[in-house]
Chains A and B, each alone.
Chain A
Amino acid sequence: MQSEPRGPAPGLVEPGRPRRLHPLTPVFLAVREGRRLWPLALLALAQRRLWLIALAALVVLVATVLQWLRRSYVVEADALRVEQGVFARQLRVVPFDRIQQVDLVRKPLHRLLGVATLRVETAGGASASEVDLDVIALAEAESLRAALLRARAATTGEAPGTRPPRGTKGEAPGSTKDQAPRSAEGGAPGGAEGGAPGGAEGGAASGAGVPLPGTVGPAEVAGRPLERDLVRLSLGEVALAGITSARAAAVLAVLSPVFQLLDQAPGWVLDRVDPEALAPSSPLVVAALVPLAVLVWLGLAAASSIVTHAGFVLARSDDNLVVRRGLLERREAVVPLVRVQVVRIEESLLRRGLGFASVRIQSAGAAGRSDDRASRLAVPILRADRVNQVLGELLPGAAPVPLLLAPPPTARRRAIVRRVVPALVAALAVAVVLRPWGLLALAAVPLAALAGEAAYRNLGHARRAGFLTARQGALLRTTTVIPVAKAQSARVHASLFQRRAGLATLYVDVAGGGTMPKVTDESGATAEALLASVVSR
């Protein structure tokens, strides 16, 4: 009974002494298991195999007690240390100055039993909390939280409750304090979410809001801060975004041969068609229905784009990026400019032809809220000649997109072989199985070679000032701009085939998940040099 509450005295959490969690921990662990296993329990009950339920309960009980026995935490001189695991042991050390947020979560059962869950978050996109002490006595949890916040303030040299920690992933310490009682009352499963002040204006549906009370709050009190529009889309542009989107384009690509056929149709139809042949089942009627279907499809694509993106505005408000959009339901998302990790300029073949592009902005996720959509903003469509201007606003110093260096010529062979070999294998399989018509599948092989050539031509990278720019993709050409200061780590990968061609691929790891930025098929030496330049401060 070492963790009986003794009142929130500062000395309650003694540094350097490992503590177990509350003895009621197995109950909470068992409840969690029970929630996962109830369908099985129901099944066993239906078959009147009560002994099976009893056995399962016993196993769960033993397992959870063992887990509790092997789990402890220590507040050390400069870090929180948590040990756990029955068969595989894990020791986790979280330095105080990396702590972003400390939450107390109390669900109804917690409140009934006078305990709490303490969650510690660090920067990073992991959905789960980095430390989840479930459960400890309420008094102990409060004292531990105070101790952690004090220790963090001491190591980061900031008074507690004044400013967000240097990571600024989530809330300021002050808001964390405000948040805890609210979480305690709310007791929602995502305790941290309960504390989001008002959420984005779009409400829960937006999921895109990253409202930072520390930064947005005060300004809102003084009235809306000055906003400057970066992008404002007209209804026509929004509709075009829908029509030229990948999904709509896929339909067009499939049906374009039919279109061509129908271009010649009218005269042909008038001259030769026997009215009786126009029964609903006639191929001609079907052929006439196809363009109608395409029109309807494109209309739907435009309409759905209008519903989600009508009145799209990307604006700069203080040091935040604000996106507002939506026809029926206005959605708003706010992302601090400093948290922008990567900007992607995407140009599909269709949009390139029309002189348009789209832009995606990836930012670091908020603490305790790892909604993927929250960390991504997008400009659905943008005139190509405005891309550099917007890029310069999103990442000062990054615009214009510099001239890119092409990879070495060996990369061309790699790009082609990489596509031709799988195409050849698949085509041969089809050809063998579906003789003789399957032989037509072999036509895919030269197409794959062409795709490889196109892919090679679109490869390129540039390392200029504080940015790494990488481009790839033929059908969807993507230019990725990475502020080197945001790189968490980097890797050079070289497969067996790449090594034979003297090539390697550089991956840059950034916060916020999503597609990993990479420089594909550069020479090994260039990739290594880029790696060194990306990770050196």
Chain B
Amino acid sequence: MALAGPSGDPGDPTGARCLDRRVLTVWTVQEAIGSAVLVVLVVAADVGARATGLDLPWPVGVAAVPFAVLGGLTSWRVPLARYRSWRYETAENALELRHGIVERVHSAIPYYRVQYIDIVQGPVERAVGLATLKVHTAAASSDSTIPGIPVGEAETLRRQILARTGAGDAV
């Protein structure tokens, strides 16, 4: 590595890394909340339709069952697939991310392009001690968000990246 980060980094910063497994909890909760909202909406529509005198050929609430099943399946499988698809790496010149289930994305953000860095924690992430790292460049379209890394590691990663930004370049 040409430019070493600050010494004493915990863990080996080289090589591709997976996300923290606890991110499964975060995503599962998020998916489950989304599915639950959908199920509630379907039930409400079902009940509402009956209230207006519509005669539906199924008992109350049955319409929501397929949605509940589908929601349960996605809450269970999608986070796992997404977790397996994720790798990030602090390579020599650039931060490299690989992710995506249906659409695979490999993105590279050179360190010297980094403008500023956010570490964001939603309520669920806070509960399990994870954070999301967002690296911003001058281009709004840069894909540079790493979810599901432990708070301490996010701080380390931020320091590593900023230590390597070096002299920036004109935009």
Contact = CB atoms under 8 A, between A and B. Distances in A.
B74 interface: no
B120 A88 contact: yes
B136 interface: yes
A10 interface: no
A432 interface: no
Nearest to B101: A496
B140 interface: yes
Contact of B116 (A98, A125, A513): A98
B159 to A, nearest CB: 9
A169 interface: yes
Interface string B109-134: 11011111111111100100000000
Contact of B115 (A122, A338, A493, A516): A122
Contacts of A124: 115, 136-140, 171
Interface stretch (A50-58, A89-97, A449-457): A89-97
Interface in B156-171: 158, 162, 165, 167-171
Contacts of A496: 102-103
Main SS of the interface on chain A?
mixed
Q: Which of A78, A79, A91, A489 has the most CB of B within 10 A?
A: A489
Contacts of B93: 535-537
A535 B114 CA distance: 12
B138 A125 contact: yes
Contacts of B110: 489, 535-537
A375 to B, nearest CB: 11
Given A79-B162, A93-B162, A491 B106 contact: yes
Interface string B9-23: 000000000000000
Contact of A489 (B103, B116, B144, B158): B144
Contact of A494 (B103, B116, B117): B103
Interface residues on chain B, size class? 35 or more
Contacts of B122: 87-88
Contacts of A371: none
A488 B104 contact: no
Contacts of B118: 90-93
Nearest to A83: B119
Nearest to A130: B116
A511 B120 contact: no
Interface in A415-469: none
Interface in B89-111: 93-94, 100, 102-110
A462 B164 CA distance: 31
A130 B120 CA distance: 15
A394 B154 CA distance: 41
B112 A537 contact: yes
Given A90-B120, A537-B110, A166 B170 contact: yes
Contacts of B113: 488-489
A91 B141 contact: no
Interface string A92-111: 11110110000000000000
Given A124-B171, A167-B170, A513-B140, A95 B121 contact: no
B30 interface: no
A92 B116 contact: yes
A94 B114 CA distance: 10
Given A124-B115, A339-B171, A488 B105 contact: no
A79 B165 CA distance: 13
Contact of B105 (A92, A493, A528): A493
A83 B65 CA distance: 43
B129 to A, nearest CB: 12
A507 B171 contact: no
Nearest to B115: A122
B117 to A, nearest CB: 5
B153 interface: no
B170 A338 contact: yes
Contacts of A507: 141
A510 B113 CA distance: 11
B23 to A, nearest CB: 16
A341 B171 CA distance: 8
Given A79-B162, A495-B102, A167 B171 contact: yes
A490 B112 CA distance: 14
B138 to A, nearest CB: 4
A512 B107 CA distance: 19
Interface of B: 93-94, 100, 102-110, 112-123, 126, 136-144, 158, 162, 165, 167-171
Given A488-B113, A489-B139, 18 more contacts: A88-B122, A88-B123, A91-B119, A95-B165, A98-B168, A124-B115, A124-B137, A168-B171, A488-B109, A489-B94, A489-B107, A489-B110, A489-B144, A491-B107, A491-B108, A493-B100, A509-B137, A528-B106
29 contacts: A85-B120, A91-B119, A92-B118, A93-B116, A93-B118, A95-B165, A97-B168, A98-B114, A122-B115, A122-B138, A123-B115, A125-B139, A125-B140, A130-B136, A166-B168, A167-B138, A167-B170, A168-B171, A485-B169, A489-B142, A491-B107, A491-B108, A495-B104, A509-B137, A509-B143, A511-B139, A528-B106, A537-B93, A537-B110
